[in-house]
Amino acid sequence: MKKALAFDIGGTKIYSTIINENGEILAEIDKFATPKSLDEILDILSNQIKKHENETDIIAIATAGAVNNENTGIVSSTGNMPQGYNKIDFQSLSKKRVFVENDANSAAWAEYKIGASRGTSVSVLLTLGTGVGGGIIINNNLLKGKSGAAGEMHFKMYPDKRRKCTCGGWDCFEIYASGKALKIDAEEMLNDKNVTTYDVVEGVKNGESKMIEILNRWQNDIATGIKGLADIFDPDCVVLSGSMAQFVDIKKVEEEVNSDIVTPPTSIRLATAGNYAGMIGVALLAIERGL
């Protein structure tokens, strides 16, 4: 059975493990805080690769940032990563093939192969975390676009430039649907710069009506974005993953979405492939397409 040495490289943590062609995690997961410099990131990767490449058939890297259509490098800049990260020549790290894919695309693939969107023809995955990622699968293919950057969840929520997104653009879905967005909603609605996402979530648990109002606003923005994706893709399902997904009332969002779209109803689902979906997805992609 084929095996991949899989990494998940994000702005906060780098994970590595070994995954087989069934998506099973075979080795303990190594975890590193993402260093501030490019050289230190390269050190972590090459040490892990030296240690494990002989036991595996391919190197599979899920990463922040849009990845090109050749699955070899990064297309766009990645705000959360050290400068120069988007110029890494991943292939130079190993004599084995190094297969790279965007982390949300990878997670979408994991959900499609072993998780919540298994057996569907068209599915959209949203990762709701500090930011928002997206991965779209159409008839057994990841939607990649002309340069590999498709699935960016930066479509606009207002046409009149109200809230700056972390990407530098205006009013992107990400800045209304992310964890950061929930904090901004709370800041605006409470007129308090120090309120945290945690405060909102705890307040909701305690039945505080203002906090419920804030969460509902955030949830309504998520539903609004999903309506658009539903009308554009007519998907079997939209899968929500990431640390913020647990705070979404899935049934309520599904009802709201299906009450205000022109395509036939879609289903909203929580992700089931787990926290390592990125590594599982990129390992499965690498074994299937990179070997």
Residue 144 lies near a copy of itself (rule: CB under 8 A): yes
Q: Any residues with CB less than 8 A from the CB of 119 and at least 6 apart, and which? A: none
Closest by Cα among 290, 262, 263 to 106: 290
Q: Of 179 and 225, which has the nearer Cβ to a copy of itself?
A: 225
Closest by Cα among 187, 148, 153 to 171: 153
Q: Which of 82, 228, 250, 255 is close enough to bind a copy of itself by CB under 8 A?
A: 228
Cα 58–59–63 angle (5° rounding)? 145
Mark residues 111-140: x for contact with a copy of itself by CB under 8 A, - for none.
---------xxx-----------x-x-xx-
Q: Which of 26, 75, 190, 212 is close enough to bind a copy of itself by CB under 8 A?
A: 75
Residue 80 lies near a copy of itself (rule: CB under 8 A): no
Per-residue b or e along 243-277, where b marks 16 or more CB atoms closer than 10 Å to that residue's CB: ebbebbeeeebbebbbeebeeeebbbbebebeebb
Residue 67 lies near a copy of itself (rule: CB under 8 A): no
Provide the residue type at 287 as one letter. Answer: I
Q: Of 1 and 262, which has the nearer Cβ to a copy of itself?
A: 262
Residue 235 lies near a copy of itself (rule: CB under 8 A): yes
> What is the rounded CA–CA span in Å between residue 127 and residue 56?
29
Span interacting with a copy of itself, options 83-91, 104-112, 234-242, 283-291, rule CB under 8 A: 234-242
The CB-of-231 to a copy of itself minimum distance in angstroms stands at 4
The CB-of-170 to a copy of itself minimum distance in angstroms stands at 6
Span interacting with a copy of itself, options 10-18, 182-190, 231-239, 277-285, rule CB under 8 A: 231-239
Span interacting with a copy of itself, options 38-46, 181-189, 193-201, 256-264, rule CB under 8 A: 256-264
Residue 72 lies near a copy of itself (rule: CB under 8 A): no
Q: Any residues with CB less than 8 A from the CB of 204 and at least 6 apart, and which? A: 211, 212, 215, 247
Mark residues 259-278: x for contact with a copy of itself by CB under 8 A, - for none.
-xxxxx-x------------
Q: Any residues with CB less than 8 A from the CB of 117 and at least 6 apart, and which? A: 108, 111, 123, 125, 137, 236, 237, 239, 269
Provide the residue type at 255 as one letter. Answer: E
Strand partners of residue 60: 6, 99
Q: In what order do the strands lie in the sheet with 267-270?
A: 141-142, 132-138, 122-128, 237-241, 267-270
Instruction: Provide the token pair at 195.
Output: 């309120």
Residue 157 lies near a copy of itself (rule: CB under 8 A): yes
Residue 109 lies near a copy of itself (rule: CB under 8 A): no
Chain Cα centroid distance, residue 13: 14
The CB-of-42 to a copy of itself minimum distance in angstroms stands at 25
Residue 169 lies near a copy of itself (rule: CB under 8 A): yes
Q: Which of 231, 250, 252, 272 is close enough to bind a copy of itself by CB under 8 A?
A: 231
- Residues forming contacts to a copy of itself in the complex (CB under 8 A) are 66, 75-76, 120-122, 134, 136, 138-139, 141, 143-159, 167, 169-170, 172, 176, 220-221, 224-225, 227-229, 231-236, 260-264, 266
